[in-house]
Amino acid sequence: MIHIIAGDEAAKNLEAAFLLDENLRGDVLILKDMLGIGPIELDAEMNHDEVRTECWKIMSPNQIDHTSQDLHNVLQLIEKAVAEEEPVCFWMAPCVTDVCAYFWLLPYFKKQADMLHTINIIGLPFLNEKGQLFYPKNFSEVVPTEFLKTKRLLKKVTVAEYEVEGDEWTKLQTESTWVRVYEGGKKIVSKELTYYDSLLSTSLTTEFQKGTKVVNEAMKKCTQTLTSVFLEWRLRELVTSQAVAINGDVEKGLKDFEVKKVGEPAAEMEAESH
């Protein structure tokens, strides 16, 4: 079995489970990209990896490596699976990253319809490290011992699923947005670029605070799978559009500048009125 799973932390838990059950063992392809944010629409000149690489450069120009190689790696995996007649398992949790990845993968596996399987934990309870029941949103939250229980969920993607769900990614592409959110089951909905700006706005106060604090507070409020890189970029965009007041240089790191709501603090305004 060859495994596909989204995110490094989720992959660590899966690989730790291999030590507990050798029947789970297999090669693991980790999807690095988070398809819930950024453009996904292609054109004649740029493939998926190139479009995604460009969007990460826009969001985080100071990062050393922006290169997206998920498509390249998946195509290589399919070649290997065909040559070795190995089934492929995609691990799907109830989050925008995993469900988007599932829709994205379907067209590439359609010609090898019997190859792709899923382990889908949407709506299923697990035990955490303290033995308490919970519903994980990501495989990074599932402890290795609980992975062992998922083997019975292994299911081949059916012809009907390819037919019904195979066009979902194309639909999302034609909607040409920067934000997609998870709304239960396998439902993904496109949203406007400014969708998460409200999280930042409600994390601002009338007093200056570090940009890192604002982003961290917004991340705590977010119910979707999201990277702080996107919120950091959106905060800088709000500063540039003068929707947020700044003290410092927005081109520097978030810890190097402060932000607050536009307008003076109520206490200062009251003092100036006397």
Tens of pLDDT along 60-75?
887 667 789 999 999 9
The tokens describing 268, both together, are 């200062």
Tens of pLDDT along 22-31?
989 999 999 9
pLDDT score of 272: 44
Task: Please tell me the distance from the alpha carbon of residue 189 to that of residue 121, in angstroms, as a whole number.
Answer: 20
Does 181 reside within a domain?
no
Angstrom CA distances, 40 to 163, 184, 214, stand at 21, 21, 28
pLDDT score of 194: 97
CATH number of 241's domain: 1.10.10
Say yes or no: 27 and 163 in one domain: yes
pLDDT score of 64: 61
- Closest CA relative to residue 259, chosen from 212, 192, 190: 212
Q: Average the pLDDT over 219-244 and give the result.
A: 95
- Looking at the structure of the chain, the number of domains it has is 2
pLDDT score of 167: 95
Does 190 reside within a domain?
no
Say yes or no: 6 and 138 in one domain: yes
What does pLDDT average to over the chain? Answer: 93
Say yes or no: 115 and 222 in one domain: no
Tens of pLDDT along 123-158?
999 999 999 999 999 999 999 999 998 989 999 999
Residue 40 lies in domain: 2-173
The tokens describing 150, both together, are 């998922």
Task: Please tell me the distance from the alpha carbon of residue 266 to that of residue 227, in angstroms, as a whole number.
Answer: 33
Say yes or no: 218 and 161 in one domain: no
The tokens describing 172, both together, are 């999302």
Q: Average the pLDDT over 183-187 and give the result.
A: 96
